[in-house]
Amino acid sequence: MSKDPPPVSLLLSKTSTIALSVFGRSNSHIRIFDSNRKGDALSIVFFSFASITPPSRPTSFVHPHTSPPMDYIYPNIYLESHKRLPYLKVDIGELDREIVDGLKSTADAAIGLAGGYSATTGDLCALAISTQKRILIISFQDTTATEASSMLADSILLDPGLKKYAFSAPRLITSLPAILPPLRSKEVYDVTPKGKYKPHTITAVTSVLGSSIVNENVIEVFSSEICDPEDLKHTFNIALRAWAACHVANKSGSSSNLKTVLPFETASLTDDHIMFFSNIFKNDAQMDALKPVIIRNDIDRFIEVDGFNLHVSSVRYTNRIRTNAKTLEIHLHDGSVLQGEVSMVAGKVSRIALVNQETITSNDIKHILTTGKEESSAINDSRYRLLTRAIRSPKELFQSPFLRLL
């Protein structure tokens, strides 16, 4: 057995403060042997500092008095390896100039933004700002921190020389001033892939990210913007969404899948405009959250079994099999479950390919279960495009006689 090191005595004046961080094996321990005041000094004796190692976290990005220490996150949405990124999480009331300037000093041509929203109210509850080297996550528990909000807006959000990219940018930029009015922004670009894609679907996200991605991780990160600031998983997801926006924005030339779009800005919008747009996007998100994720697709009739493909017709249009189904399970009467993939959908009629190419008949099938939300309708997509145009030129929308009546 190793011999304990000798006791260590620390003499502190009445006005002194000290912070000790102990990093060591599980059998490391500290024992307070004696504690008493003698005149102007406090004598504290510590025994058995076993296996102490110094901390490895960088300190250049951490305010020495008020900020919590940084943690690390590994970008796991790509197949290729990326360096771990330090991230700092603070509330808006704790944000100071040193933190913001430290982040901004690592920015390249563009940074990434991402928002996290309350599951109950739909309000913005967290904002992630990412460079290619660091990530800052800001929660909004203190909604009276106007001074810190103004400093963040002046330094980053309103800086015309700093391009900001975000997935679902219109909702984010209108939600920021809705929660804290000073948080206006300029030069914010919506991450949009080249080609024709429904806005902000997983298909659109994977297209803009590129081919060398880990699909299950991308789905995990981008499937929901709901965020509980105290949930570590939600924290990682919002950080990775911001980093991904930054990553694709800083690609250039043929390696970029970004579509050229006009930027958004909310600096000139009135408070009424902000609340109108914010509430519209909030209501859309809440309606989307009500869509079922797991759907039992009762089958009206089997048109045919063609080799290892099933041609089926659903009972109702509302629970039809959809092309965006992430998984499809074919439940048989004998209790077994087969895996399928949707290869074609036309109304209530669908074609399903059996993954393992089992041989079955239509009489063997009890029902089909699919996982995956229904994508937005063409009407909703048109309304979204109208709203995004209106953010850039709100007078055109608000001069409508219909909206004046509202």
Decide yes or no: CATH 3.40.50.280 for domain 71-289.
no
Cβ proximity of 38 and 11 under 8 Å: no
Q: What contacts 287, CB < 8 A, 6 or more positions away? A: none
pLDDT over threshold 70, residue 172? yes
Question: From 3.40.50.11740, 2.60.40.10, 2.40.10.170, 3.40.395.10, which CATH number describes the 294-371 domain?
Answer: 2.40.10.170
pLDDT over threshold 70, residue 30? no
Q: What contacts 12, CB < 8 A, 6 or more positions away? A: 18, 41, 42, 44
* pLDDT computed for residue 52 by the predictor: 35
- pLDDT: is 216 or 158 the higher one? 158
Nearest-10 crossing angle of helices 215-222, 232-249: 110
* pLDDT computed for residue 317 by the predictor: 62
Nearest to 351 by CA among 312, 295, 398: 312
**pLDDT 10s digits, 5-20:** 444 433 333 333 333 3
Question: Is 329 in a helix, a strand, or coil?
Answer: strand
Nearest to 391 by CA among 295, 296, 263, 199: 263
Of the chain, the percentage scoring pLDDT greater than 90 comes to 32
pTM of the model: 0.71
Q: Cα–Cα–Cα angle for 120, 126, 132, nearest 5°?
A: 145
- pLDDT: is 36 or 256 the higher one? 256
State the average pLDDT for the chain: 77
**pLDDT 10s digits, 338-385:** 888 887 777 777 788 888 777 777 778 787 887 777 777 778 888 888
Give residue for tokens 């102007």: 40
* pLDDT computed for residue 98 by the predictor: 94
Domain ranges of the chain: 8-47, 71-289, 294-371
Residue environment code for 354-386, b if the CB has 16+ CB neighbours within 10 A, otherwise e? beeeeeeeeebbeebbbebbebbeeeeeeebee
Cβ proximity of 229 and 141 under 8 Å: yes
Residues in the chain: 406
pLDDT over threshold 60, residue 96? yes
pLDDT interval class at 68 (50, 70, 90)? low
Classify strands 135-139 and 85-91 as parallel, antiparallel or unpaired. Answer: parallel
Of the chain, the percentage scoring pLDDT greater than 70 comes to 73
Cβ proximity of 184 and 267 under 8 Å: yes
User: CB-hemisphere CA count at 13 Å for 231?
Assistant: 14
* pLDDT computed for residue 299 by the predictor: 65
- pLDDT: is 180 or 35 the higher one? 180
* pLDDT computed for residue 313 by the predictor: 76
Where is average pLDDT lowest: 52-66, 94-108, 167-181, 278-292? 52-66
Distance, CA of 293 to CA of 290 (rounded, Å): 9
Q: What is the average pLDDT across 37-47?
A: 37
- pLDDT: is 56 or 89 the higher one? 89
Tell me whether domains 71-289 and 294-371 share a fold. no
pLDDT over threshold 60, residue 204? yes
